[in-house]
Amino acid sequence: MSDATPRELLIATIAQLLDGVRHVAVGSSSPIPAAAAMLLRAQKEMAGEPPVRLSILGSVKHNFFTNGSGELFDCAGQGRIDAFFLGGGQIDGHGNINLVGVGDYPATKVRWPGSFGSAYLYFVVPRVILFREEHTPRVLVDKVDFISAPGVSAPEVYRTGGPHALLTGMALFMFDKDKGRFRLVSLHPGRTLGEVREATGFEFDVDSGLRTTPDPDPATLALLRGRIRDELSETYPEFVSQL
């Protein structure tokens, strides 16, 4: 049995979802995705494979941008970012995300920071991973109250990006672009299908090969608890102190 923590499991799972990318961009408030991108970069380096470029907004050591989000958007529009992460106060079964608030806009009962550039990045980054640790019906809803960024578009709309997967503290879903809905592919250790259904506000498909999310192996854990922890501390010292 692995002694991996729930967050180490999430980091290792995201790293697997990123396999094959060349350039990963991470927002300034995403320590778990950042750790996953660092893990992938370290694994590729140790294996002698082509390097993975990592851009973490807010980082000095792990960011080659000098003008913040402006350069991020330019780079994404040029097709030079392969993966990005989005969350949301609400996420529905069609991959729509809500970063604005709860209730009928503009009279929202709860107000969040706003959509920022989420819709743009959702359209141009090929592999967008939706990530929320919380897995409850208040987050994973049947229909978002406000669409900050749509998961699917009409056939005539030119779009190179979109949702690739949804990872939560309970399970991993992949997004089926043809059907415009999620497919449950793995349950985290100790979780059941019934438990996930009860905690999810939208309908989803279940993969015929539904499995348990694999724990990180000893080599991966050693990287996470050594090199990755040290690299992450530059941008997310408070998060690292909690690990």
pLDDT tens digits along 152-209: 999 999 999 999 999 999 999 999 999 999 999 999 999 999 999 999 999 999 999 9
Domain boundaries, the chain: 1-81+217-243, 87-212
- The full 3-state SS of 194-227, as one line of letters, equals HHHHHHCCCCCEEEEEEEECCCCCHHHHHHHHHH
User: What is the distance of C-alpha 56 from the center of its chain?
Assistant: 14
CB atoms within 10 A of CB 190: 9
Q: CA-to-CA distance for 120 and 74, rounded, in angstroms?
A: 11
Residue among 216, 241, 235, 239 at smallest CA distance from 39: 216
pLDDT at position 1, please? 53
Spatial neighbors of 87 by CB under 8 A, at least 6 apart, are 30, 97, 99, 130, 131, 132
Q: CA-to-CA distance for 227 and 243, rounded, in angstroms?
A: 14
pLDDT tens digits along 157-169: 999 999 999 999 9
pTM here? 0.94
pLDDT tens digits along 16-53: 999 999 999 998 789 999 999 999 999 999 999 999 99
Domain 87-212 classified CATH 3.40.1080.10?
yes
65-79, 132-146, 183-197: which has the minimum mean pLDDT?
65-79
Spatial neighbors of 187 by CB under 8 A, at least 6 apart, are 170, 171, 193, 196, 210, 211, 212, 213
Q: CA-to-CA distance for 33 and 12, rounded, in angstroms?
A: 10
Q: CA-to-CA distance for 171 and 152, rounded, in angstroms?
A: 22
